[in-house]
Structure 1
Amino acid sequence: MTLSARKRPIGLVVGVVLAVTASSGVALAAVDAGKVIASRIDGFKKMGSAFKTLNDGLKADAPDAKMLAAQAKTVSQVAHQVHKWFPAGSGPESGQKTRAKAEIWSDSAGFATAVHNLEVESAKLETVAKGGDIEAIKAQAKATGGACGGCHTKFRGPEQH
């Protein structure tokens, strides 16, 4: 038996193992829809909490600029993760409890635009908040809230009980 003849079966075995491993990975991804959904819910709760704290802080008689900047940073950091939270198979078709509408995947370009707008507005919020100008922070918080609504309106369903 030649050396190249001995290598073929090993190559074939490696190829089969890689193919099985790759297809198993796809199956695992579908099984983990619950984990994906739970993770994105946690992320949105973190962003929502930071945004609420920021907005509540803006209503104070003497807003704490450092606290506002910290909350704005959290909002921006989390907003820049949103695009990763919606892999195929993690929507209503998964059978899991989710407020994510099918439009996220059927209008992926529209969803990508809405997420991009959130990233842009939240980054502006972080930058403005670093400057400490309370009126500018209020204005940008409103713009960032509008970007949040851009997703909520079209891509998020009603709360499920």
Structure 2
Amino acid sequence: MKIKKLICFINIFLFCILLSTANTFAVEGAKGIIKERMDKFKESKQLMKKINVGLQNDNFKVIEESAQMLLLWSKEMPKFFPKGSDISPSEASSDIWLNPEGFNEAIKNFELASLDLINQSNTNDRDKTINAFRNLAGTCKGCHQKFRN
């Protein structure tokens, strides 16, 4: 069981590293709402890393606080995607504006997964909290696959 949890942590850590590498190169040269959006996603990535460390240390308070910040981000995220903000260096796909229902659904999934992580972290149940974090990370990955170039 410990090996399974270790593999889970390693996978989540590698996912976060992958996100950070891609964003580092893209932020250079960004301006206006695109830069603001990229900065918000960098903050989001840092919060995911913080949650991962919280899981390793059973620090449910840090997990809950970080998930609260992600929940707030989910609610303000749509305003960071005005029409025409898919120009370089943005990695936003034009599918965001071609399929707004799908994009809004992806954001809603992120919101619900953030809320679930908050709720699970309040139980202090490690396994349930890990599963909620996996689900949250999955919403990020799913959205990036559909709506990120």
Q: TM-score, normalised by structure 1?
A: 0.69
For 2:119 and 2:75, locate their aligned partners in 1 and report how far apart those are by CA, in whole Å.
Answer: 14
Query: Is 1:97 aligned to 2:89, yes or no?
Result: yes
User: Percent identity of the aligned residues?
Assistant: 30
Query: Is 1:58 aligned to 2:50, yes or no?
Result: no
For 1:131 and 1:78, locate their aligned partners in 2 and report how far apart those are by CA, in whole Å.
Answer: 23
For 2:114 and 2:145, locate their aligned partners in 1 and report how far apart those are by CA, in whole Å.
Answer: 18
Cα RMSD of the aligned pairs, angstroms, is 1.6
Who is 2:72 aligned against?
77
Give the ranges of 4+ consecutive aligned residues of structure 1 lying more than 4 Å apart after TM superposition.
none
AA of the residue aligned to 1:50: L
What per-residue deviation string (whole Å, max 9, x for no partner) do you get for residues 31-78 of structure 1? xx9311111111111111111110132134xx2121121112122221
| Conserved 8 A contact 1:50-1:71 | yes
Structure 1, gaps ≥5 residues long: 1-32
Structure 2, gaps ≥5 residues long: 1-29
The residue correspondences of 1:1-161 to structure 2 (distance < 5 A) are: 34-60=31-57, 63-92=58-87, 96-157=88-149
Instruction: Measure how far apart 1:137 and its partner are.
Output: 0.8
Task: Determine which structure has more spread, i.e. the larger CA radius of gyration.
Answer: 1
For 1:87 and 1:104, locate their aligned partners in 2 and report how far apart those are by CA, in whole Å.
Answer: 10
Instruction: Measure how far apart 1:112 and its partner are.
Output: 1.1
For 2:72 and 2:65, locate their aligned partners in 1 and report how far apart those are by CA, in whole Å.
Answer: 11
Q: TM-score, normalised by structure 2?
A: 0.74
SS in 2 for 1:81: helix
AA of the residue aligned to 1:90: S
| Count of aligned pairs | 120
AA of the residue aligned to 1:87: P
| Conserved 8 A contact 1:79-1:119 | yes
Who is 1:20 aligned against?
none
